[in-house]
Amino acid sequence: MSKTLQIEVDPLLCANQERRIVGELEYGQLTRIQDDVEPSSGSIKADLTFSRIRKFVVLTGRISSNLVLQCAACLESMDFPVDIEIKLAVINNESFLSLIPDGYEPCLIEGDRLTISSVVEDELVLVLPDIARHAVCPVELPSSSASKDFVLGTEEKKNPFEALKSLKKN
């Protein structure tokens, strides 16, 4: 039913035709971020249009999905909605990096073909957190991790309110 984004296109030809690409990417089709998201994640929708600005091929549109990640603290699932505005300038030579139109991010490709699903996954990699974690976990954490001796990493920051509390006591 849905149109897959696993297609390879000629960006220059697409730009000249102002081609619009609308499609979806399912969990099973992910190659780069499959390990980072849960299988219950919603499909990734993209609505992208090729056009030209000066000599540049640009790709604009949106990528959206209701991804599900696993919380590193409680290991429960965590909703992670994404809605990314895309403004890419497609280049195949790094020497054009400094010339791309204002407000556009470079999308460096090898050769003269561009795989839409790769572009979509690359954009998602940029917004996924290094460590997914609920602001407030929905379940109580095991007592071992809730005990006061438990230290999360070595760079646990001191609670600034602790200092305030001791000031007030005096």
User: Measured from the CB of residue 24, what is the shortest distance to Zn ion in angstroms?
Assistant: 28
User: Measured from the CB of residue 136, what is the shortest distance to Zn ion in angstroms?
Assistant: 8
Q: CA 122, CA 120: separation in Å to the nearest integer? A: 5
Return residues touching Zn ion (CB under 5 A): 71, 73-74, 134, 137
User: Measured from the CB of residue 142, what is the shortest distance to Zn ion in angstroms?
Assistant: 12
Concatenating the DSSP letter of every residue in 84-130 gives: EEEEEEEESSGGGGGGSPTT-EEEE-STT-EEHHHHHHHHHHHHS-S
At residue 9, φ and ψ (nearest 5 deg) are -130, 165
Give the residue with the Cβ less far from Zn ion, 101 or 138.
138
Give the residue with the Cβ less far from Zn ion, 76 or 112.
76
Report the residue number whose CB is nearest to Zn ion. Answer: 71
Q: CA 46, CA 82: separation in Å to the nearest integer? A: 11
Q: CA 65, CA 44: separation in Å to the nearest integer? A: 5
Q: CA 122, CA 35: separation in Å to the nearest integer? A: 14
Give the residue with the Cβ less far from Zn ion, 53 or 73.
73
User: Measured from the CB of residue 42, what is the shortest distance to Zn ion in angstroms?
Assistant: 20
Give the residue with the Cβ less far from Zn ion, 71 or 109.
71
Strands 77-91 and 105-108, sheet pairing: parallel
Give the residue with the Cβ less far from Zn ion, 12 or 73.
73
Query: Does residue 43 contact residue 2 with C-beta atoms inside 8 Å?
Result: yes
User: Measured from the CB of residue 150, what is the shortest distance to Zn ion in angstroms?
Assistant: 15
